[in-house]
């Protein structure tokens, strides 16, 4: 059996009671949502009947992760339209393009990064975070990583979360670099390295990505697991951290139901 990301995850399998979630600080709300705003028909009764898919989604959630930017660019006017269609407290996380992370592998990508930022920053104040997901084959190279993060930080001062998927990133050296650049290391489930069971990098940003376990992108999470997750999110929120929780188990619609359950008790809206 794969070890759990959350301390009380085994409760879902053993029948033990999960830890009760703690209330979050009202000064540090938790951003909870999904990778994309698709709404499976089964959950439509939970959302308003009128409006675009994004408007209906934003009536229940306060955050979303834009993954489509990884595959193709969006026009500045598109980002601006999305920003105008959601409530004031709603925030977007935007995933960096694969041309930067997977093709250029963080090297010699200044022009690509500037083009991307010129588009995504049209979200204005509703741009909440940038997500940098690395390919599993990309090992930590301090010089290359530092050069990329320096270019990024010269052009963008907002929250940045980085999801490495090679074991070499889960080291003290990588952690120190991310912290120095104020970049949070994503807390991802399933974990790819034992050290990935705890957050890393910039301590003031906790970005949790849940891909589904044991079947990535498909599996829903049992409620005791989500209860333990809520406790962890609330604890980080009470510390004043910028807290994100994104469900990426979207293949069969589990993400929306898991996110709805997670928002309950966290007083997100």
List CB contacts of 135: < 8 A, sequence separation 6 or more. Answer: 101, 102, 105, 165
* Euclidean distance between CA atoms 226 and 260, whole angstroms: 11
DSSP strand pairing (160-163 vs 127-133): parallel
Its pTM stands at 0.89
List CB contacts of 91: < 8 A, sequence separation 6 or more. Answer: 31, 62, 63, 126, 127, 128, 129
* Euclidean distance between CA atoms 252 and 53, whole angstroms: 17
Is the pLDDT at 1 greater than 70? The verdict is: no
Residue whose token pair is 């990535």: 216
Coil, helix or strand for 182?
coil
* Euclidean distance between CA atoms 80 and 78, whole angstroms: 5
DSSP strand pairing (183-185 vs 200-201): antiparallel
Is the pLDDT at 155 greater than 50? The verdict is: yes
E strand map for the chain: 30-35, 63-66, 91-95, 127-133, 160-163, 183-185, 187-189, 200-201, 205-210, 242-247
pLDDT (0 to 100) of residue 108: 97
* Euclidean distance between CA atoms 120 and 99, whole angstroms: 15
* Euclidean distance between CA atoms 199 and 249, whole angstroms: 20
N-term to C-term CA, the chain: 37
pLDDT tens for 214-255 read 899 999 999 999 999 999 999 999 889 999 999 999 999 999
pLDDT tens for 190-219 read 998 888 898 899 999 999 999 998 899 999
Q: How many Cβ atoms from other residues are within 10 Å of residue 215's Cβ?
A: 13
pLDDT tens for 84-110 read 999 999 999 999 999 999 999 999 999
Report the pLDDT averaged over residues 134-162: 98
> pLDDT category, 264, cuts 50, 70, 90?
confident
List CB contacts of 163: < 8 A, sequence separation 6 or more. Answer: 131, 132, 133, 134, 185, 186, 188, 209
Helices (H) and strands (E) in the chain, counts: 10, 10
| CATH fit for domain 11-263, picks 3.30.360.10, 3.20.20.410, 1.10.760.10, 3.30.1490.20 | 3.20.20.410
């Amino acid at each position: 059996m794969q070890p759990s990301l959350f301390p009380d995850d085994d409760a879902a399998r053993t029948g033990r009671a999960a830890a009760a979630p703690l209330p979050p600080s009202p000064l540090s709300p938790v951003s909870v949502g999904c990778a994309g705003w698709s709404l499976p028909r089964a959950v439509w009764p939970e959302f308003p009947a009128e409006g675009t898919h994004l408007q209906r989604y934003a009536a229940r959630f306060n955050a979303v992760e834009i993954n489509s930017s990884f595959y193709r660019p969006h026009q500045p006017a598109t980002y601006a339209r999305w920003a105008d269609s959601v409530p004031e407290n709603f925030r977007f996380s935007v995933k960096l393009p694969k041309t930067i992370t997977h093709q250029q592998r963080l090297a010699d990508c200044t022009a690509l990064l500037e083009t991307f930022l010129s588009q995504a920053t049209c979200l204005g104040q509703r741009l909440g975070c940038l997500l940098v997901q690395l390919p599993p084959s990309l090992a930590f190279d301090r010089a290359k990583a530092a050069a990329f993060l320096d270019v990024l930080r010269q052009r963008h001062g907002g929250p940045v979360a980085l999801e490495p998927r090679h074991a070499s990133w889960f080291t003290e050296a990588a952690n120190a670099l991310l912290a120095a650049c104020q970049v949070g290391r994503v807390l991802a489930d399933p974990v790819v390295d034992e050290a990935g069971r705890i957050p890393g990098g910039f301590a003031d940003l906790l970005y949790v990505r849940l891909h589904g376990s044991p079947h990535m992108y498909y599996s829903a999470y049992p409620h005791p697991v989500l209860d333990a997750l809520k406790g962890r999110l609330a604890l980080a929120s009470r510390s004043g951290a910028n807290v994100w929780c994104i469900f990426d188990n979207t293949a069969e619609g589990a993400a929306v139901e898991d996110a709805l359950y997670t928002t309950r008790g966290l007083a997100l809206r």
